[in-house]
Amino acid sequence: MLKFTAEHEWLQLDGDVATVGITTYAVEQLGDLVFVELPEIGASFSKNDDAATVESVKAASEVYCPLDGEITAVNEAIVADPSLVNSDPQGAGWFFKLKLKNLADADGLLDEAAYQELIA
């Protein structure tokens, strides 16, 4: 199940684990990424905490944790090559996997149609 946040993150839900990344729209706004900093595996975050940082040539931006949960995996490939996020933001450019504290929290997220309307 694919969900979105108004802060331009996407979540692919598989049971109570969400793979999280930033949307194509977000990447277009940021431009070419030159640096990505990911959270530690095992770290716990509340919704809207700063979980990761991305930097373009011009500026740094935070990636927020979309829901309460614990980091179970991170995508080291985008640390080694941040351009992966630009080339495939909603695929190979994923950021981290988050084990949700409350699966029901995901119901409050946007579905794809609602997200597309938001950025239109």
Decide: is 112 part of the binding site for another protein (CB under 8 A).
Answer: no
Decide: is 44 part of the binding site for another protein (CB under 8 A).
Answer: no
Decide: is 53 part of the binding site for another protein (CB under 8 A).
Answer: yes
Which tokens go with 56?
Answer: 């373009």
Decide: is 76 part of the binding site for another protein (CB under 8 A).
Answer: no
> Residue 86 belongs to what H/E stretch?
helix 83-87
Q: Yes or no: say if 119 and 91 are a contact pair by the CB < 8 Å rule.
A: no
**Identity of the amino acid at 90:** Q
Among 2, 6, 35, 41, binds another protein (CB under 8 A): 35
Decide: is 60 part of the binding site for another protein (CB under 8 A).
Answer: yes
Structure-token match 């930033």, residue found = 22
Residue closer to another protein by CB (options 37, 88) is 37
Question: What angle is formed at CA 74 by the lines to CA 55 and CA 14, rounded to 5 degrees?
Answer: 120
Decide: is 32 part of the binding site for another protein (CB under 8 A).
Answer: yes
Decide: is 49 part of the binding site for another protein (CB under 8 A).
Answer: no
Spatial separation of the C-alpha atoms in residues 83 and 54, rounded to whole Å:
11
Among 40, 58, 104, 117, binds another protein (CB under 8 A): 58
Query: Residue 90 CA to chain centroid, in angstroms?
Result: 9
Interface residues toward another protein, by CB under 8 A: 31-32, 34-35, 37, 53, 55-60
